[in-house]
Every structure is written in C-alpha cells, then in structure tokens.
Structure 1
Amino acid sequence: MTLSTTWTTRVWLGAVLLLSGALAMATEEPRYQTLQTTADYELRRYEPYRVAEVEVRGDFEKVGSEAFRILAGYIFGDNQGGLKIEMTAPVSQRPAAVGTRLEMTAPVTQHQTEAGTETYVVSFVMPERFSLETLPRPNNPRIVLRVEPASRVAARRYSGSWSEARYRDEERRLLHALQRDGLKPRGASVYARYNSPFSLPMFRRNEILVPLAD
C-alpha cells in the first residue's frame, strides 16, 4: 500500500466515523428564519453561509461517494496549513448547471444539470466561525470555496430512502405545491442529507430545497 493510498484510506475511514456522529447530532447548520409552514413545505429565509464544493460526473446515487472523499480530505487537513475543520450539516447535492458548489456540513445536497447529463455539485457547509478569507485554501484544485448568498427557500422534509426515485417523487410533490401557491422556483432543486449512511432510514432527515424568486 502506497503512502497516498494509506492517506486516502485514513481520510475515508475517519470521515465515515465522524459523519456517523456529527451528522446524527447535527452540531451546526446554516442559519435561517421560518417564514411559513404548510402541509407540503416550509418557507425559509437563509442567511449567507460559506461552502466547499466539488463537481463530479456519474450516477445520481453514486457520485456522492467520490465527492465525499474529496471534500472529507479537505476538512481532515488536506489544505494549506493542514487545518482540521469540524463537520456540519447538511451535505447537499444538485445539478452543476446552477453553479452553487458544496461545503462540508449537513445536509449533503445533489442535483443534475440537464436531462441526459450527469454532472452534479456536492457541497459541505463550512462552520460559521470561518469567513471566506479565513477558510484554508484547498490543496485539491477541484474544490471551490464560495459564499452562498441570502435566499428564500421552500423546504420539503421526509425520511427514508436516499434513492433517486424517492427524491424525484418528493421533488414533484413540492414543485406541484409551489405552483398551486403561486411561488416560482429560481434554479434547480437541491437534495440535502442530514444523517450518516449508517442511520436507520426511518430516522433520517432528508430535504428537498427549492430556491425561490423574491
């Protein structure tokens, strides 16, 4: 086993163990204000927050593993200065076309750019104590650090499977409810995960997040 392989293995195993605890406890999430609650969704106003994100190509249900290894390496010290960064929630995934990258927090979000293409952006939310200037620069050039601006978002929460079929079903329900209520989406839906892969599906907090036009 080479040194590089050993490092990758340690990062992957360490991140999985940390994710099991940190995301289950959801120690920190982006700040938001609840504006309205309906039977189908919650209307939120998010404050700006920082993210670390990476673009990956592949199957909807498999790209998360590749992205997670890259981002976990960054927060475990693969950055200029070797600083370790605490895990937050959620981890998010979304289509790359929207241009919103990912950070290491919870949930994890995923989305697809266009029909027929399979490029996704996966993000980790960065802890609130960091500004964009004080976040350590990643050694991996694929990782992008950026500020997610303040936004109004419709969030639909559900438990259970992380399958694409379940995600698409919940997304359809949310988009139908927004159309009914006269709310217009702005950009692609985001798939957010707040729990570890080892959590029982019935106890998982999953969300579909749809940015809205103001």
Structure 2
Amino acid sequence: MSYEEPGYSVITQSGPVEYRRYQAYLVAETLVADRADFDSAGNEGFRRLFKYIAGGNTSQSRITMTAPVSQAAQPEKIAMTVPVQQQGAAAGWRIAFMLPAQYTIETAPKPSDVRVQVTAVPARLVAVLRYSGRWTEGNYLQHRDELLQGLSQAGIKPSGEPWLARYNGPFSLPFLRRNEVLIKVDRVPD
C-alpha cells in the first residue's frame, strides 16, 4: 500500500547522508509529556493521532493515512507549533502525522482532543539518513549519531533537534521497513 508523503527534492548526497528540500505541509501533532520512554510515547502519540484521523475531530471526518509518522524529542515545554515527527527530551516526545495535501490550515478538521494540534510546517532543507530495522530507541540513537557524525565530517552544522520518521505499518517485517533520521540544516556540503 502506498501512502501520500511530504513533497521533497533531493539536492545532493554525501556518503550515506541525503540532503533534501521539503515543500511546506500540514501536520497533526501531539506532545506526550507524561511518558518518559521512547516506545510508550510513540504508541500513545500514535493512538491520539489515529483517533483524530479516524473521525475524532469536530466534523467527524475520516482523514486518509499518510507517511511518515514522526517522533522527536521535545527539549523544553513550548506551545505545540512544530512539525510532524517524533522527538524526545525533558518535556516529552512530539509525535506527528502529515495531513493530505488537499487540506489547508483553514480547511483541516479541528481535533476534538485538545492535546492534538494542526500546524503548518514551513519549507525547509534537511539532512536525512535512511535505515531499516526495528523502531527501538537504541536503533534510532545509533542512526542519529551516524547522521550527526556525517554532518560533522562534511562541515555542516545542524539547526534544531533530530527526529525519526517511520514509513511502514507495525506489521511490516523489520528488515523491509523504511526509517529515517532527519535534522534541519542551513546548507549542503560544498
């Protein structure tokens, strides 16, 4: 099954690191602050967001599933106005689903759950490391470190926190899964 993904173009590749320019898109996101661990936060955030796309919104509209599901550390408590992904840190983990391109910030169904927000993600330049395997914190951290090392070797300074993007469903065989670690950058290698 093929899911809609954010639009991007590949600018260049340096070793295993790919540099992409993403178009702007919308996400539904939630901050899971009450769960410290990576796996529990990912599961809780996914359930909240799935309820939203399954009709848990003020118009009771079903929204088509997209990819990826993102997870990122949320380093400090801030208003929920950040992109789709999973990130984790002191304030918790931010989980996000991209919304289909047919929606605008004005036309996207409003979430019924106050913990879910619809936000715009601006166009941006990112560095990406793709890998397969299980969705464990250890696997994510290993590949995050590999991405950061690749950027350092290329003389590229990241801006912001890295995030995990999961492209497959939970029943996909781990060796067939497409996972990515992404981080925003200001430029590509010379």
TM-score normalised by the chain length of structure 2: 0.91
- Tell me, in whole angstroms, the C-alpha distance in 2 between the residues paired with 1:100 and 1:206: 24
- Please state how far the C-alpha of 1:89 moved relative to its aligned partner: 0.3
In the other structure, the counterpart of 1:49 is 25
1:159-207 Cα distance to aligned partner (Å, 9 max, x none): 0111111111111111011011111111000111000111000100000
- Partner letter of residue 134 of structure 2? S
Change (3 A) 1:41 1:100: farther
> SS at the partner of 1:92?
strand
In the other structure, the counterpart of 2:6 is 30
Percent of residue pairs bearing the same amino acid type: 41
- Tell me, in whole angstroms, the C-alpha distance in 1 between the residues paired with 2:183 and 2:81: 13
1:65 equivalent in alignment to 2:38: no
RMSD between superposed Cα atoms in Å: 1.5
- Partner letter of residue 140 of structure 2? Y
Unaligned 5+ runs, structure 1: 1-24, 104-108
- Tell me, in whole angstroms, the C-alpha distance in 2 between the residues paired with 1:182 and 1:26: 36
- Please state how far the C-alpha of 1:101 moved relative to its aligned partner: 3.9
Out of 53, 57, 67, the position equivalent to 1:75 is: 53
- Partner letter of residue 150 of structure 1? A
CA contact (8 A) 2:19 2:125 kept: yes
- Please state how far the C-alpha of 1:26 moved relative to its aligned partner: 3.4
> SS at the partner of 1:166?
helix
1:150 equivalent in alignment to 2:123: yes
Change (3 A) 1:50 1:34: same
- Please state how far the C-alpha of 1:39 moved relative to its aligned partner: 2.2
1:8-67 Cα distance to aligned partner (Å, 9 max, x none): xxxxxxxxxxxxxxxxx3321000010002322110000100000000032112211111
CA contact (8 A) 1:53 1:122 kept: yes
In the other structure, the counterpart of 1:106 is none
> SS at the partner of 2:19?
strand
In the other structure, the counterpart of 2:180 is 207
Give the strand-richer structure, 1 or 2. Answer: 2
In the other structure, the counterpart of 1:175 is 148
